[in-house]
Amino acid sequence: MNVKQRTIKSEISVSGVGLHTGQPVTMTFKPAAENHGYKFKRIDLPESPVVDADVDNVTDTSRGTTISQNGASISTVEHVLAGLVGLEVDNVLMELDGPEIPIMDGSALMFIEALEKVGFKEQDADREYYNIPSNIHYSEPDRKVEIVAMPLDDYRFTCMIDYNSQVLGSQHAAITTISEFKKEIASCRTFCFLHELEMLLENNLIKGGDLNNAIVVVDKKVTPEELKHLAVLFNRDDIDVAQEGILNNIKLRHQNEPARHKLLDMIGDLALVGVPLKGHIMAARPGHAANIAFAKKIKAQIKKEKSKKHVQVYDPNATPVYDTVEVMNILPHRPPMLMIDKIIELTKTHVVGVKNVTMNEPFFVGHFPDAPVMPGVLQIEAMAQTGGILVLNTVPDPENYLTYLLKIENARFKDKVLPGDTIIFRCDLMAPIRRGIAQMRGIGMVGDRIVVEAELMALISRVEDKKEA
């Protein structure tokens, strides 16, 4: 049974401050139509530009994930996107009156709680997953980052972090299905090391940080004076280092909360692929930059597969509509200029022809004989002859007609054609034939690869017309 898309029942708002900008911001979740996906709208800017939650729109990953489009940017999108994925919500519009998602408590929990207040609405359209077809790898050897997506009929995550820190050490986190996100991952807050905190403060960042929305790992000896200074900065009476090696501002919700938060970040970043995924994601030492690079790799794979779906794979051994002899009864060409062996499909608007490329082709004698490649111009000629069958099929006596190539446009040669290849040519009419002029779009395929494509214009003319001319 197909799973349906869903959105929220009504709008709801949350308010807070941006972690790095410190600016107050209100974000309003609004129901959205089927196939809308996740979009952000900056209502504080002229014309309220919309930013699609798309990995191609990522412009910064230094301290979170920032996306930009139409002159607008949205920062720190990963936590709210993780919450939407965890709730399996497909379509939402998020309106903001500022440049950054409110940090809330540093996790996805408060977003989830808000959305659950209004509830969810099932929609008519089916949810279209991308099922990881085979292992997809990503690595950064210098940073020891390893990420792999493996086929699985669910959405499973395994994450390991290792900061070479005596305090934090090596940690693992995992969920076996996305339905575990709310209970196991959503409440896990962002974290940083004390030395990073000091650097961020010195660079006028984390203006919205107040030690209620982050775990601070103390990875060095800290003097009482330094603790007093931090207490003043964050408007605290006092700050100390807890036994676990973190500032005592907050208590850990899970022993491995940092690893769980890294898993949360990954789910949010991978939401930018644009479709719900099915697969097992395993990651070692991930970060926003690696997550986004990996997301782009998955999206590229999706695009590649979609382009292949538009290419129909034909059986070259199918019973022909016209065999070689019948092709010669229609076309005036003869070997070595007859470039089509048979026609395997023919309608009023398209035709499919077959060319078996053998080492015995006469052009291989002079065209790179030590590294034979079929000349591109002859691929276009074979395509034109295939199209000639289509246009000549529109007259009752094709043997009395000739076709003349008038124009070639947008020709592209995408791969080599070698001895032993079988090229399948398909030509489709781009418009009805008028006054003997046919416009066709043609492609040549070897297996499921498009090797050549072009737009052709041809003139069909009676043999008597040629003689009179």
Sheet holding 24-31, edge to edge: 12-17, 24-31, 92-96, 38-42, 50-52
CB 158 within 8 A of CB 280: yes
Q: State the DSSP H helix or E strand holding residue 354, giving kind and residue range, or none if neither.
A: strand 350-356
CA dist 194 and 99 (Å) reads 26
CB 432 within 8 A of CB 460: no
Q: Is 20 a catalytic residue?
A: no
Q: State the DSSP H helix or E strand holding residue 268, giving kind and residue range, or none if neither.
A: helix 257-270
Burial label for 459, CB within 10 Å (0-12, 13-18, 19+), is middle
* Amino acid in the structure at residue 54: D
| Count of CB atoms situated within 10 Å of the CB of 110 | 21
Number of residues that make up the chain:
469
Catalytic residue chosen out of the listed positions 20, 79, 280, 288: 288
* Amino acid in the structure at residue 94: M
Q: Is 367 a catalytic residue?
A: yes
Query: Which two structure tokens, joined as six digits, stand for 108?
Result: 């996805």
Distances in Å between the Cα of 384 and the Cα atoms of 289, 427, 453 are 48, 8, 11
Q: Which residues are catalytic?
A: 288, 367
